[in-house]
């Protein structure tokens, strides 16, 4: 599949949407819609057997969701993944990590979006005050035992795919060490 032409259909401070005319391997034409968003960082804050989660209202779903701290740089800026992770952790939770370990790479929705993310394990944590953006005013945070987190996933109370995938990366990381 090769792009033939591309046009930007929509853009705002967080994302753009483009429509690409493509040519399939057999030469037939096609069309593809792509959501372009900057890469994100997701942080798994771990203290002993406790995980630190955030809960916020997710407008597209019209509901509040529990998830790991995660986000992109303002204005679609290009920021190093580890710097972005430290910033998001501090901003959303007030936590600072003495150690940040890369867990792996996550593709958000590769069938429709170019966005990729890095998952990090944050340990040796110290608490501070959150530095939330204006849009995060309703955010809540909570330390949660891992058994409760796993039960919430099983019960369908935590459905954020990136958080569930990052937790899987954590489990695989722990198996290796």
Question: Phi and psi for 63 in degrees, rounded to 5?
Answer: -155, 160
- 132-153 residue pLDDT tens: 888 888 899 999 999 999 999 9
Domains (ranges, CATH) in the chain? 2-36 (no CATH), 40-176 (3.90.79.10)
Q: From CA 121, how far away is CA 132, in angstroms rounded?
A: 21
pTM of the model: 0.92
Question: Among candidates 44, 22, 9, 34, which has minimal Cα distance to 115?
Answer: 34
- Residue 66: the pLDDT is 97
- Residue 79: the pLDDT is 86
- Residue 73: the pLDDT is 86
- 65-121 residue pLDDT tens: 999 999 998 877 788 999 999 999 999 999 999 999 999 999 989 999 999 999 999
């Amino acid at each position: 599949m090769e792009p033939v032409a591309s046009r930007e259909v929509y853009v705002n401070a967080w994302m753009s949407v483009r429509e690409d005319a493509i040519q399939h391997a057999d030469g037939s034409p096609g069309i593809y819609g792509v959501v372009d968003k900057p890469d994100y960082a997701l942080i798994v804050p771990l203290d002993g057997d406790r995980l630190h989660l955030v809960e916020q209202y997710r407008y597209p779903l019209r509901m509040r969701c529990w998830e790991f701290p995660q986000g992109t740089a303002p204005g679609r800026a290009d920021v190093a993944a580890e710097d972005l992770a430290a910033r998001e952790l501090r901003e959303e939770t007030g936590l600072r990590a003495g150690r940040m370990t890369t867990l792996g790479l996550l593709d958000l929705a590769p069938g429709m979006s170019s966005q990729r993310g890095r998952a990090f394990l944050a340990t040796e944590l110290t608490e501070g005050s959150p530095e939330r953006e204006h849009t995060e005013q309703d955010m809540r945070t909570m330390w949660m035992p891992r058994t409760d987190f796993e039960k919430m996933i099983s019960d369908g109370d935590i459905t954020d795919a990136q958080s569930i995938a990052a937790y899987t990366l954590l489990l695989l990381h722990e198996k290796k060490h």
